[in-house]
Amino acid sequence: MESSEKTDSINQNTVLSAEYRRKTTKHRVLAGAIMKRTYAHLAIQTGILILIVAIQSPLLAKDATPTEDFMDMGLEELLELEISVASKKPESTSEAPGVVVVVPRDEIEVYGDRNLHQLLQRQPSIYTRDVFPYTDNVAGFRGDMSMVTDSHTLILFNGRPIRESGQGLNVNMYQTFPLSTLESVELIRGPGSVLYGSNAFTGVVNLKTRAIPEQNELSVSGMGGSYGYYETDVTAAGRSGELGYITAVRVAGQQGYPYNMTDALGVYGEDNKQYKSYSAVAHLNYGNFTFDSFWSDYDAFSMGVVPFWSNPHKLFRNKKLFLNAGYLIPVHERATLELNATYNLQENGLTSFKPQIIGNNTSDFLVEATLFANPLDNLNVVLGYLQEYRSNYAPDSDCYQSIPPYDYSPQSAYAQGDYKIGNFLKLIAGTQWNESSQGFTDFVSRYGVIATPFKKWGVKLLRGEAFRAPTAVETDLFDPGILRGNKNLEPETVTTYDVQLFYHNKKTYAAITYFQSEIDKLIIYDASAVPDMSYLNGGKHIFNGIELEAKYFFTQNWHVLGSFMHQENKADAGLNPSVVPEDMAKFGTAYTWDGGSVSVFYCFFGNPPKIYFASLPAPFGSTLMANPEPKEINLVNMNLDLDLSKRIGLKKGQSTFTFRVENLFDEKIYVPTLAYSGTPNSFPYLPGRTFYIGFELHN
């Protein structure tokens, strides 16, 4: 932006600031009226809750037995779940070559997670939040969060990558994916690039669909809540001959909670943080053929690529289409070949200070062949090759294209093997060769030893590497006068060491883990580039931490679970600092009975790091301390499900009433901005206390 344009913009924002100040009293009166309506709704909802609990209380007294989901599994099965994401094949969590977590379907339901972002917030060592361009768009693993995008976390759908080449966004996955179709969510805390390539950097999330039922099933659910929240989900599953299917359609949105702050130019403004979304998912199975698809259309409030209230639009819109066709070919009694063709399309629009919205549309196709072999009884081998085709296309006429047309063809080949010595020792080794879109080649590797010398105790000693290839925004962006890409960028790399001691018996799982991650060649802004600011590979960022996690079943229908992480990190000069607090703790408990379930979950996030001081140079310095300083966060959510089937003439288990409270203690939350010079010190995050009522019917 030229000097005169900057002056005009500041003058314009000064006028706007005065206008916003004059409107403050009006907004406070309006807020008071809204709060009165909120308290009225609260009174009605509380009355309904008390009435239902009173009606159900006789059942609680005489039918305090586990629900059918828990009765189907023994206590040991509830704790020792299978996971497939760590090795691309099913194995027990205690033998998986990674620090892993499996979140089963019954846990998702009993804690009432409304979306994937909420589910991840409950998990060990994960810090979730949003940033000014996007809502609820980042989930940082083990202290790693220094960018407004989420390109260090890879999301998989049934083991297939949902990855786009333009910006590395996961926001619509976090907000719109129908959880009703899932059997579990599998997590790796640490690298996964040996098997999954770019973006499987510090965390991997695998969304695993339910097993296809033999009988046809149909469920319809609806939920309403504070600030005009609405959600409807229709899920169907079953078989038609040899064809098995699971599919869901979801519509969700919110009229918006008040979003008030002072922007990067010192202008105070107010708006509603609203969104609306439509999504659909399908999983099909026919013999050895599988087909998975996900589509979403997501529109949300956004401050824009720069947080100015004067931006002509307040919009972020994202459309995503994911398709995967897979086929299994038995080539030998000890070997199977899996073929996959995966397509990811994304249409993205984001407001800026220019009259038009920034539009970036990507079209990415990949083919992959993977051979699974078991040449010896104690030896398993995975071999694979992957070829990608990345490109973009012109956005709609109301957008301008900031990334010129590109066509890239990165590729990779990988191998991994594990060998068991007796029943107590497992050795793992793997490597991947990869060639980036810019032609840089490299190897990443993983090694590990898993020892279970005693029935209840075990140790994991792991070393893993990963890479994150630069996105097209970082290499090809062409926005004269503002920012340009750098085609000479190398992929970021990370090396992680894990030492984990774990214990499990029929009622308990507990683990303590020490980790060290060294990230190198971090991609950052280059303010010295001419004629415009660009990107460069920076130095190293080192993370050290300790994790504690545990889950205990008092009975089949009552459990507690919790985790704690302390991490410290140090970055080389010039790198963006992490905004993750050093300490986080999470604790939950849930009780189920024949007539329903109740749960409470508490998340504690310590004071965030002190990043912004006026005495420091850019990008660490900010003289605009205009918004409240971020503090520790205490989030408590409560969820109550009641089976009302008998009360409305249905068979047991065919209807469920839900009452949910989020942010029970009405915390006012501000989070630190990520390191961009000139932005304010903090941004508001999440509404205050909110209430939700839902109802589900199924056959």
Residue holding tokens 């990779």? Answer: 412
pLDDT tops 50 at residue 332: yes
Mean pLDDT, rounded, for 406-415 = 97
Alpha-carbon gap, residue 344 to 390, rounded angstroms? 9
Which one, of 58, 55, 190, lies nearest residue 460 by Cα? 190
Number of domains in the chain: 1
Look at residue 47 in the predicted model and tell me its pLDDT: 41
SS3 646: helix
C-alpha to C-alpha distance for 422 and 520, rounded to whole angstroms: 38
Q: What pLDDT does residue 26 have?
A: 41
Q: What angle do CA 148, 151, 154 make, to 5 degrees?
A: 135
Q: Is the pLDDT confidence value at 571 over 50?
A: yes
Pairing of strands 357-376, 399-401: parallel
Checking if the pLDDT of 662 tops 60, the result is yes
Burial class of residue 212, CB neighbours in 10 A (0-12, 13-18, 19+):
middle
* pLDDT of 517 over the 70 cut: yes
pTM for the complete prediction? 0.89
What's the pLDDT band for 536 if we cut at 50, 70, 90?
Answer: very high
Is the separation of the CB atoms in 495 and 518 below 8 Å?
Answer: yes
Residue 71 makes CB contacts below 8 A (sequence gap 6+) with: 65, 556
Provide the CATH number for the domain around residue 498.
Answer: 2.40.170.20
Residue 518 burial (CB count, 10 A): 15
Q: Looking at per-residue confidence, does 573 or 411 come out higher?
A: 411
Question: Which string of b and e fits 14-48 if b means at least 16 CB within 10 Å?
Answer: eebbeebeeeeeeeeeeeeeeeeebeeeeeebeee
Average the pLDDT over 658-666 and give the result.
Answer: 97
Q: Which of 574, 522, 512 is nearest to 543 (CA)?
A: 522
Judge contact between 468 and 199, C-beta under 8 A.
Answer: yes
Mean pLDDT value across residues 23-31: 40
Q: What is the pLDDT of residues 279-328, one digit of tens each?
A: 999 999 999 999 999 999 999 999 888 888 999 888 899 999 999 999 99
- Residue of 150 and 462 predicted with greater confidence: 462
Mean predicted confidence (pLDDT) in 117-143: 93
Q: What pLDDT digit, counting tens, does each position of 360-400 carry?
A: 999 999 999 999 999 999 999 999 999 999 999 999 888 88
What's the rounded Cα separation, in Å, for the pair 102 and 169? Answer: 23
* pLDDT digits 0-9 by tens, 175-228: 999 999 999 999 999 999 999 999 999 999 999 999 999 999 999 999 999 999
More confident residue, 263 or 123: 123
* Chain centre distance of CA 293: 18
CB 664 within 8 A of CB 636: yes
Residue that is written with structure tokens 């359609």 in the block: 249
Confidence check: pLDDT of 38 > 80? no
The one-letter amino acid code at 694 reads G
Per-residue confidence (pLDDT) for residue 79, from 0 to 100: 65
688 lies in which domain range?
Answer: 3-86+95-698
Please report, in angstroms and rounded to a whole number, the separation of the first and last CA atoms in the chain: 60
Q: Which residues contact 220 (CB under 8 A, 6 or more apart)?
A: 232, 233, 234, 696, 697, 698
Q: How is residue 497 written in tokens?
A: 């060491």
